[in-house]
Chains A and B, each alone.
Chain A
């Protein structure tokens, strides 16, 4: 075994780089969640809507997005998509943090496809009679969802959504390929500068693991605090 020395990484500049990478990854996860949740709800409702066109749209979104690797999404939203924008918007965007923006868009779209499926299955777990009863009482489709189905579906849906958040947290690491300064990006930077690859990736692994375990604990806590109620 080589001699392991973590002190180099836990002080000064290298610690600063790793910490900024960690915070970037956390922020990226949080922001993606913020945008992906409403988007995935819309997609799930499309898939369950009475209209055939809406169903087809929802289906196309989910299958189209999740059939393509996240790496390809990243490269597409960074190198290809912004090129189609008008010159003035493009110039403005490129002068700002296009790396973070592109990775946020790619992750939001990618995550939304998976979360939509979790939400859809949660909604389907509420018995069909409930929707029919709500409609019979004169509520619209959206009204039935808002007042009858969604509140019941939340308890079923939250645990798998937390599990998707865990995937999302790990997926942020792919953003390194488009130069977004997340944890993996900073880790490679530290490794290049310090030649301490073993220690660097040990620290980074611990950071990913720690955050992942925290997210898992949240899921456990939720299930304990809000157990499933059978309607």
Chain B
């Protein structure tokens, strides 16, 4: 008796709720890994606005980047086509929960709070969150931001982290990193909070104006980035982790790091300070 009246009612309710665009974990369903193999397509959600993790290549107009390459490796391992879907920061976890994307490779911080709602792969990158200020503002450390207006991105860990570090700070959030940075450049805030990598990238893009901006030395937090997986999809997680482990073992992970972050890139990271080998994070 799988088609009881209650079941139908539940489906109608679920459909109605989904139509309203609300976050709703779908009910029991087949294993997601099977679905992906059957479809022949792996849908991966990325930001597309966060160089070099995922961004639009001005020549090809396609989304490329470090995380896109990782996603491609997973698709290759599964023997399916890779489909990239661009998401807003705040939409990442809801889109994954609703099954609109199979994986998130979207500059996603792995933290304890989020472990309650989704699963994470091995850590694929470690960054810190930092603060970019106008040099002329005279702000020398994070504590100077007390009572000041700072700008950042909606829906990420940036806002909670800066509020934790400076309880009496005024935060204004925007849809994307470039928008928030624009607001800082125009002077609508005194500081811009973001992942260190994104800040370095945006700072590098300023060219001659670089001297007008300073990145404060303190880390607001250490942010381990990982691929997001829907809660309970253990078979899919196993494949993703195995792919990442293989990349690490073959040295390809190291190559990818230097391709996107190394000394020949805008970001100029001299060395790689982490290995892809753990899916544990500190509280």
Chain A contacts to B: CB under 8 angstroms: 1-2, 79, 82-83, 90-91, 94, 98-99, 177-179, 185, 188-189, 191-193, 195, 197-198, 201-202, 205
Contact = CB atoms under 8 A, between A and B. Distances in A.
B191 to A, nearest CB: 13
Interface of B: 10, 13-14, 17, 20-25, 27, 90, 93-94, 113-114, 116-117, 151, 154-156, 159-160, 172-175, 179, 182-183, 186-188
A55 B21 CA distance: 44
A1 B25 CA distance: 7
Contacts of A197: 22-23, 94
Given A79-B182, A177-B174, A195 B117 contact: yes
A2 B25 contact: yes
Nearest 6 A-B pairs (CB), nearest first? A197-B23, A179-B172, A198-B22, A192-B155, A195-B117, A94-B187
A177 B172 CA distance: 10
A198 B23 contact: yes
A179 B183 contact: yes
B159 A189 contact: yes
A177 B179 CA distance: 10
Contacts, number: 65
Contacts of A193: 160
A191 B90 contact: yes
Given A179-B173, A179-B183, A192 B90 contact: yes
Contacts of A178: 174
B151 A198 contact: no
Contact of B187 (A91, A185, A191): A91
A1 B187 CA distance: 46
Contacts of B14: 1
B24 A198 contact: yes
A195 B116 contact: yes
A193 B154 CA distance: 11
Nearest to A98: B188
8 contacts: A2-B25, A79-B179, A179-B173, A191-B90, A193-B160, A197-B94, A198-B22, A198-B24
A177 B88 CA distance: 12
Given A1-B10, A2-B24, A192-B90, A99 B113 contact: no
A99 B116 CA distance: 34
B90 A188 contact: yes
Contacts of B182: 79
- Which of B13, B27, B94, B188 is the most central at the interface, judged by chain A CB atoms within 10 Å of its CB? B188
A191 B94 CA distance: 10
A79 B151 CA distance: 14
B91 to A, nearest CB: 10
B240 to A, nearest CB: 22
Contact of A1 (B13, B160, B173, B183): B13
A202 B21 CA distance: 11
Nearest to A91: B187
A185 B21 CA distance: 17
Contacts of B188: 94, 98-99
Contacts of B186: 79, 82-83, 94
Contacts of B160: 192-193
Contact of A195 (B13, B24, B113): B113
A202 B22 contact: yes
Contacts of B174: 177-179
A101 to B, nearest CB: 11
B172 to A, nearest CB: 4
Contacts of A188: 90, 154-155
A1 B90 CA distance: 22
